[in-house]
Amino acid sequence: MALSEREKQLLAEMERNFYQSEADVVNTATKRAPLSYRNIVIGAVIALSGVGLLIAGQANSLVWLGILGFVVMVAGIVFGSTPGKADPDAPAARAPKQSGQGSGGRGNKNGSFEQRLSERWEQRMNGER
């Protein structure tokens, strides 16, 4: 069944709006800092010690120890879920940048992968590609 001209226009407009909203989601999602494995491990250890305090408080009928265990457990979870700062000793930070590699031989002159991907997406939406 063929679409009328008006239906084709509406469909094209809906598609453009969908791609624009999808690009906005991608742009906002890439701005988050990655989680630090160090923070995750330390947070897990803190949370497990909080669980231990919580159980010890329950076993000994000490309400204050149970409350302290709960607070320590929540603090460990919060600490483990916070993004870490850039670690200058990380292997990725120490690796030298090699120019001349990458897609099309352009190298890394246009920034990170996410930035290049975002630029390509915007070019597609503007009809440049």
Kindly report, residue by residue over 20-40, the tens digit of the pLDDT.
777 666 666 556 677 788 999
State residue 31's pLDDT score. Answer: 60
| pLDDT confidence bin for 87, thresholds 50/70/90 | low
| pLDDT confidence bin for 74, thresholds 50/70/90 | very high
pLDDT at 92 over 70: no
Query: What are the residue boundaries of the structural domains of the chain, listed by start?
Result: 34-84
Q: How far is CA 66 from CA 63, 79, 80, 89, in A?
A: 5, 20, 21, 39
Quick one: 8 exposed, middle or buried, by C-beta within 10 A (0-12, 13-18, 19+)?
exposed
State residue 29's pLDDT score. Answer: 56
Given CA atoms 30, 36, 37, 40 in this order, what sign does their dihedral have?
negative
